[in-house]
Amino acid sequence: MEVILLRHGETEWSRAGRHTGRTDLPLTGRGEEQARALAGVVKDRAFSLVLVSPAQRARRTAELAGVESYEVDPDLWEWDYGGYEGVTTAQIRESRPGWYVWRDGIVPGDEAHPGETVDHVGERADKVIALIRSAGGDVLIVAHGHFLRVLAARWLGLPAGYGRYLRLDTGTYSALGYEHEEAVLLRWNAPV
């Protein structure tokens, strides 16, 4: 069994380093090119389960990569950054020197962006992992950088916050699997 993870292509906010949780942004032209390039990763593969985040940037990435059929799973939404939605790390550090989302978390936001802890993201990732393990074959997931980092950490049996060690760029693919029945990373942050 192999779990292929696709991080969506570039958006204006990802290019600018703005925290993009629940704000539903389209791909840039470059993001669409990245998504098309991912087609080689999924072409001619049969997946028992294909899950995609509700965000248009993830759905469009899946479609441009040639994924014809998928289920939208709300547990795949990106980390809800609360009051830091749309704000860059440099801007946050103006009032919170040395701030790091993985260590210091977020502040609550408005009704549309209430925010969540990394452990809450981990709980959502655990639900997705349960679906993956019951699929009975290869699985494809199309989602977001921080969420996929948490998912990988939880796949390995690590705390959600260990996702901080797994940088993940836009338009890349990764793979999770097993070695001698033990969960492992097969590939990470691979460009196409």
**What does the pLDDT read at residue 66?**
98
Q: How many angstroms separate the most distant Cα atoms in the chain?
A: 50
Q: 8, 19, 113, 144: which is the annotated catalytic residue?
A: 8
CB 48 within 8 A of CB 3: no
Residue 190 pLDDT class (50, 70, 90 cuts):
very high
- CA dist 31 and 28 (Å) reads 5
**What does the pLDDT read at residue 99?**
98
Model confidence pLDDT, tens digit, residues 116-160: 999 999 999 999 999 999 999 999 999 999 999 999 999 999 999
For the chain, the average pLDDT equals 97
Q: 10, 19, 78, 116: which is the annotated catalytic residue?
A: 78
Residue 55 pLDDT class (50, 70, 90 cuts):
very high
- For the chain, the domains span 3-190
- CA dist 186 and 179 (Å) reads 9
For residues 60-79, average pLDDT: 98
Assigned architecture for domain 3-190:
3-Layer(aba) Sandwich (3.40)
- CA dist 107 and 99 (Å) reads 12
Answer yes or no: 78 catalytic: yes
